[in-house]
Structure 1
């Protein structure tokens, strides 16, 4: 066994019931720890008390005069760094750099998908799967489509989107779902992004030594940069993926570690880039490779997903999901994984030494995410399918090296309904309209349910897992409280997988709902928690909220809608939270960001932002208290939709304005 993977002998095995709500995770952690394997929870425990200065955002290492640690307590200890930067300046710089990195991650994802769209040809590996969406997006970008070849349109669209990354003049193209009132807010506060790459470069310049030293200005730059993610890079990544790989529609599949199959060649797909996973899926269906899997003694090829790549292939292909971010090591610890294939983001460097404890091939595929001790096979999008076949072949041929006595797979898996793209949601909403409000192909029924009060509000519960919190517990506790109070929930990323493992993505979850939400679910034939995709797909939520606001003639900030990231850990989550708040949607964070060493930055984020953009952050680590605050905020925000409802009550035929069944 590799020494790098061992838990130190003097360390006690943690109580598995404290690390996660999920029973499969508890079982596999215990097995891993008892066998001396090092996991994220062991490494977190080994750190003991983490750096208080770093946790509060008041340690600056931007220049080599530092690092400078200043006191978070005014009047006590060192109050300024060598250059004179205060805690407010240092914390705001740290926050801005997290936004810049998170925006870069999502936007680079979007750029890559745009390049894939530009590379497609009729005889190529990638095809156009959603022609309607291609034509609609081309129109939004001002591209003439009449009489043009569909592939030529795709190339023009990709070029237009890529131009928005480096646009030298003007502002980047914004989605048509954005209400005019929200655009006006951004223009008033000088928040409308110009070009995606320009915003990232400019804010990093602003954080450089000798530049911005005003916390409020830095947070404003952070908001503008984040918008180039939510309405730029992430939006492009999601919409172009739909064009290339198909727009997700509702389907059922199984989730959790139990989907790993002892009799099969198991291949785990982990990361975020669907251009790779799409080809791995196609390669796994190749007759020659399927025959090879039988020749080596297995029953076939079993693809499973982890993290956001897991969401991508689940939504579009029905590939089962083995787990979320905090289960990536546990997949390998089952001893039954022939290969873990990764691309970019949220991938533990610890996976490489862990894989050496088993027969697993840990394969990196992107120059952006090279990892020491991994097998690296560079993915070539211009020869995508053959490259993918080569990777799958490596996994199949590794089956003979499996030590069957090391195999231990938890018997836990949950059937879930997933894949609710905006188009998929609209299809379901068509079931709840009546003759008066019948507008198929819109979010009108959802808007009317909010106005009538049948639904008190809506919440997007998104984000990661974090070992600072008992895994999945905050996501699940919060969601159940919201459902009981007639708040419909949409989920993305690892929060979606947490909801799945808890049975919240099934019809059975209706038992947790209040009367109004229960009726909506029954009429629309939906679970009360809607799986909308990977973390880049938070742009789908923005589109949904924007369209509902436009239907009602309101700004997004006037809707009873909130966002929540209760177990977040990545810089992408900071960018996401910032663009959600800047869109006018209150956002609740269950892990407190590293800004509390600055009273001013904390006040800006949790108070003063509301004055400029109509929303703010709430920091609350207790999910039950967070639920109480969310429900109170939703009722406060209902002022605007309640006013619309009062107006409607005086309209003849008022009963016909209520969604069917109410």
Structure 2
């Protein structure tokens, strides 16, 4: 029990921005439940060598470290100095992130192939129009053919991109010519997804690549194979299978949990699992079973990027972001949390053990001790989904009403701004947006992406930066947990235009849209690339010429390193709110923060203060506007 409520309130206000999160965090403290913030506090002080990136565990001669302050040791056992150790560690992290997103993409493409060939239970091709568009890019004939036949050939072509012999990824051809020329000159044109990932792991093996510049150039190539390859294929295949998102309104935050229904949280990243559970939950037989168990029905709520996928296409309420996964269980009202992979705390089963909640794992790649494992495959997807829902229904009578505390007042938001939806809203062309930018009504645009990190107050970086940018007439587009943060803060509704500058406000009011556009899950950062590429091609310039910026105020994961790098490699100046582990090497810092300008016409910057980050981004946008003569 909490003995000092004012002190508990002070603690949670320093940990998180959202009111519903704060309320539930106090309940978790009262229940004696450990959360990510408690474990972060227990880890202090964290390893200074690790934070600088100068620890090396590449081989059994180590672990080694170099002394960043000019004292011995200055080399590892093999002779590696700080520049090499930092660069190898960065490439290692980036490659892990690229592999995670790209493997996600592979699974969606495999599900599309199984659907096309009649081997997937309950799935169908939803967006035939996008199927034809993407198939045409791959030279696949569409006239007079069934959609399943086209989808089968396209899926096989996409799967070939993972290990192709042609030394180029077709989707990278979507980039404007000037951008592709910069890649070619730098030698970073992505050749295939798996090749770049395998070569990256080869390069960081002891005794292979010892040139930090060469390592970091390959890091950009690997990131491009993710952004313009694996992630982009995952997004397009998801759109074809489940439908391309269009604007819709829904609800967000922990208040979306129901007091009288069976609550099932869908957490992770892959829509192949979650979309089928949505379908099975609507089955009249499952609804009747829930009512027979004493519930008023079944309530599904999303979490993290699985939540974004369901929100965009199905309007399913979104309970919260990465850091909300323990808090949602602490409401005491969750019958089951169903997960696939990525951004899931290994401690989640321990949290669930404090309540009646069952954790259901579904992927062979992501098993957690203490969970119930129900392998999910397209071949028996619908049956497995019903089995999982049945497990949750059977658990409903075990809920203890005395331990339930659900916040009130969910926040409304508008989501579903795919690149296609934005273009359609503009009348099928980007000219109205370009005209608004030329006229100065909109100065430019910034993509805010990324996660939560206990080193910064949850959601503060995302929300503060977004508010600062829209106030300065800069349009914001978002994905992942950044979009969830701004949704909880009320920035994803058309009425939020009142917080924007006069120019952006007038454009938003005319179109009936928010000043912050939710473009999808973290894999959907590729939508931002396509949006930027299409505008650049309409103007016959490179992406680096556009008044654009990128930001990741609260990033934590290796995926975010890949995302930030493919933004920069594509020509987008990107500001990070959390310092990467590179400051043990002045040369690596200088390369990423300055010298890349001469390679890809963009760099990284690091600024933990979101207001100062907005200053940097606005200055870059104004510089690009001046260069364009506007």
TM-score by length of 1: 0.93
Shift of 1:34: 2.1
Structure 2 residue ranges without an equivalent (≥5): none
Between the aligned partners of 2:406 and 2:289, the Cα distance in structure 1 is 24
Between the aligned partners of 2:495 and 2:134, the Cα distance in structure 1 is 37
The answer for the alignment partner of 2:80 in structure 1 is 85
Between the aligned partners of 2:61 and 2:22, the Cα distance in structure 1 is 46
Between the aligned partners of 1:77 and 1:413, the Cα distance in structure 2 is 56
The 8 Å contact of residues 193 and 199 in structure 1, kept in 2 or not, is answered as yes
Shift of 1:412: 3.7
Between the aligned partners of 1:316 and 1:130, the Cα distance in structure 2 is 12
Shift of 1:346: 0.1
Residue 265 of structure 2 is aligned with which of 254, 268, 280?
268
- CA shift digits 1:154-196 (9 cap, x unpaired): 0000000100101123212124531011111111111101110
1:425 aligns with 2:412: no
- CA shift digits 1:33-78 (9 cap, x unpaired): 12211000000001111111111100000101111011122x2231
- CA shift digits 1:188-228 (9 cap, x unpaired): 11110111000000011000000111111111000000000
Between the aligned partners of 1:28 and 1:125, the Cα distance in structure 2 is 37
The answer for the alignment partner of 2:177 in structure 1 is 180
Aligned residues: 623
- CA shift digits 1:549-581 (9 cap, x unpaired): 111111100111000000000000000000000
The answer for the alignment partner of 2:626 in structure 1 is 639
The answer for the alignment partner of 1:651 in structure 2 is none
The answer for the alignment partner of 1:568 in structure 2 is 555
The answer for the alignment partner of 1:385 in structure 2 is 382
Residue 411 of structure 2 is aligned with which of 409, 414, 419?
414
The answer for the alignment partner of 1:367 in structure 2 is 364
Structure 2 SS opposite 1:125: coil
Between the aligned partners of 1:248 and 1:101, the Cα distance in structure 2 is 28
- CA shift digits 1:6-53 (9 cap, x unpaired): 99xxxx967111001111111111111122110000000011111111
Between the aligned partners of 2:136 and 2:260, the Cα distance in structure 1 is 49
The answer for the alignment partner of 1:524 in structure 2 is 511
The answer for the alignment partner of 1:136 in structure 2 is 133
Between the aligned partners of 1:53 and 1:168, the Cα distance in structure 2 is 41
The answer for the alignment partner of 2:522 in structure 1 is 535
The 8 Å contact of residues 428 and 525 in structure 1, kept in 2 or not, is answered as no
Structure 2 SS opposite 1:15: helix
Between the aligned partners of 1:617 and 1:121, the Cα distance in structure 2 is 42
Shift of 1:515: 1.1
The 8 Å contact of residues 116 and 152 in structure 2, kept in 1 or not, is answered as no
The 8 Å contact of residues 171 and 232 in structure 2, kept in 1 or not, is answered as no
Between the aligned partners of 1:167 and 1:428, the Cα distance in structure 2 is 37
The answer for the alignment partner of 1:224 in structure 2 is 221
Structure 2 SS opposite 1:370: coil
- Residues 13-24 of structure 1: matches in 2 within 5 Å? 15-24=11-20
The 8 Å contact of residues 428 and 526 in structure 1, kept in 2 or not, is answered as no
Shift of 1:446: 1.3
Structure 2 SS opposite 1:267: strand
1:449 aligns with 2:436: yes
The answer for the alignment partner of 1:310 in structure 2 is 307
Shift of 1:357: 1.1
1:294 aligns with 2:294: no
Between the aligned partners of 2:195 and 2:167, the Cα distance in structure 1 is 12
Structure 1 SS opposite 2:77: coil
Between the aligned partners of 1:126 and 1:25, the Cα distance in structure 2 is 35
- CA shift digits 1:86-130 (9 cap, x unpaired): 111000001001111000000000100110010114864110100
